[in-house]
Amino acid sequence: MKLNPRCVCLITLYMAGLLGSVFIYNVYVSKREDLPTETVSIVSGNSIHTTSAYHFKRNVSVMLDKSLCQIQCQHGHPCEYPDELDFRIIVLTFNRPESLRKCLHHLHDLDTLGDRVGVDIWIDRDKKGHVDNATIQIANKFALDWRKGRACVHIQTKHAYITGQWIDTWRPKPDTKELALILEDDIDLSPLAYKWVKAVRGHYAGATDIAGYTLKMENVMTYIGWRPLRGPKADPVFLNAGFGPWGFVPDPDFWRSFQDWYHRQREDPDFRPYVPRITLTKWYKEGKGDSVWELWFVYYCFVQKRYTLFPNLLQYTGKRDVLLDTNRMEKGLHFGKNSNRDMSRFLMTTWSNQYVKFPGKIRIYYYDGKEIK
């Protein structure tokens, strides 16, 4: 009897499971999206539960490797992945399945420039350890459908809250070239977001005063006075002492050092990451500490004299349809009700090299919105 190659593959994987293997085998992904594919979905449990999906060409010999989704990560510790990519997208979610669906829908249109790109979806549990099944279903469906690389779904073993989701879901390897974009599930991404990230990182990779790169252009506020901050009309980017969590790409080495510092400081019950006069400090003192995780990062940047690079294309071009991402402001931790806000029609879909005509000297703005000379 002649077995179908697909059956042989599945039987092999099944037998590996019977033998107690802790690995899910990865099939390398072709960057040719126009080729016919078959889909294999493999589910396995671990200290962090994962689901993975891979796509491969028919009638082509494939190379099997250890699982790129089956990770060994401990709650409360930064998670390092076995693979190294050019661009990793970390999607943070909890119990908003429809919001997650919208967020993931935009990733199908992302221009990956032929690079190695992967998606890691992290689903948090509530304080009682429950996880939202509808959210899992949306994430698993995306993992099966996505054709631009490998996609993994990770379920936290305990309640990580927003702080653990942000800080511990990407541990850069030392001296890595990999970049990671961290998104919450109410963010919609431009198809050209990675093209901009790759260009800005290529230009500023050696800068010692940059903590990372945000995609945020809407609702950029000063941290002192809480009023709109607008960059210079002459430049497509600027540096800001404030932070942009609506789609953030950390500098890998700096993020790694921040994680080390953060986990040491959390052991000190008397330490508070207060930055003088800024609004985040006020919120923290009002008892919102767990919901303003970014104060820890802002404090570390304050001490280390690092700044976040912001795109300034709204001011620079005078156009509306140049957004690299947009926030739907869904009901959740930060917003009390759904805003029904949809600015996706203003996401950038047409590229111009003017967008990356970076200045020789980049302007820096302090928490109060004043330029640092």
Reported as a single tens digit per residue, the pLDDT across 212-221 is 999 999 999 9
Percent of the chain with pLDDT over 90: 74
pLDDT in the model for residue 349: 98
From CA 54, how far away is CA 37, in angstroms rounded?
A: 10
Shared domain for 361 and 212, answered yes or no, is yes
- Out of 22-31, 46-55, 89-98, 118-127, least confident range: 22-31
Is 157 inside any structural domain? yes
From CA 150, how far away is CA 24, in angstroms rounded?
A: 13
Mean pLDDT of 290-300: 93
Q: Could you say which of 152, 185, 218 is where a domain stops? A: 185
Shared domain for 176 and 243, answered yes or no, is no
Shared domain for 330 and 196, answered yes or no, is yes
Q: For Cα atoms 270, 275, 281, give the angle at the middle one, nearest 5 degrees.
A: 80
Which 3 state secondary structure label does DSSP give 119?
strand
Mean pLDDT for all residues in the chain: 84
Q: Could you say which of 168, 185, 202 is where a domain stops? A: 185
Number of domains the chain contains: 2
Shared domain for 126 and 222, answered yes or no, is no
Does residue 167 register a pLDDT over 50?
Answer: yes
In this predicted model, what pLDDT tens digit does every residue of 43-85 receive, in sequence order?
333 345 555 544 333 222 222 333 678 888 999 999 999 999 9
Shared domain for 291 and 247, answered yes or no, is yes
Q: Is the dihedral of CA 347, 352, 353, 355 positive or negative?
A: negative
From CA 332, how far away is CA 216, in angstroms rounded?
A: 19
Is 8 inside any structural domain? no
From CA 204, how far away is CA 212, in angstroms rounded?
A: 10
Shared domain for 199 and 212, answered yes or no, is yes
pLDDT in the model for residue 338: 63
From CA 29, how far away is CA 63, in angstroms rounded?
A: 10
Which 3 state secondary structure label does DSSP give 188?
strand
From CA 86, how far away is CA 343, in angstroms rounded?
A: 28
DSSP letters spanning 69-109: S-----TTSPPPPSS--SEEEEEEESS-HHHHHHHHHHHTT
Is 17 inside any structural domain? no
pLDDT in the model for residue 34: 34
341 vs 26, more confident: 341
pLDDT in the model for residue 113: 98
Q: How confident is the model at residue 287 (pLDDT cuts 50, 70, 90)?
A: confident
From CA 152, how far away is CA 143, in angstroms rounded?
A: 6
Which 3 state secondary structure label does DSSP give 283?
helix
Is 369 inside any structural domain? yes
Q: Could you say which of 155, 185, 215 is where a domain stops? A: 185
Shared domain for 179 and 195, answered yes or no, is no
Shared domain for 338 and 281, answered yes or no, is yes
For residues 67, 70, 73, 79, the Cα torsion angle rounded to the nearest 10 degrees is 60
What order do you get walking across the sheet with 179-184 strand by strand? 37-44, 49-57, 150-155, 117-123, 87-93, 179-184, 248-250, 210-214, 307-311, 237-240, 364-365
Is 36 inside any structural domain? no
Shared domain for 245 and 233, answered yes or no, is yes
pLDDT in the model for residue 70: 84
Shared domain for 289 and 214, answered yes or no, is yes
Is 23 inside any structural domain? no
Mean pLDDT of 336-356: 86
Q: Is the dihedral of CA 279, 285, 288, 289 positive or negative?
A: positive
Shared domain for 334 and 232, answered yes or no, is yes
Shared domain for 167 and 142, answered yes or no, is yes
For residue 151, which of 246, 64, 85 has the smallest C-alpha distance? 85
Is 59 inside any structural domain? no
Does residue 337 register a pLDDT over 80?
Answer: no
Does residue 33 register a pLDDT over 60?
Answer: no
pLDDT in the model for residue 89: 98
Query: Alpha carbon 172 to chain centroid distance?
Result: 13
Query: Alpha carbon 100 to chain centroid distance?
Result: 13
101: domain range? 41-53+67-185
For residue 347, which of 148, 109, 140 has the smallest C-alpha distance? 109
Q: For Cα atoms 194, 98, 69, give the angle at the middle one, nearest 5 degrees.
A: 55
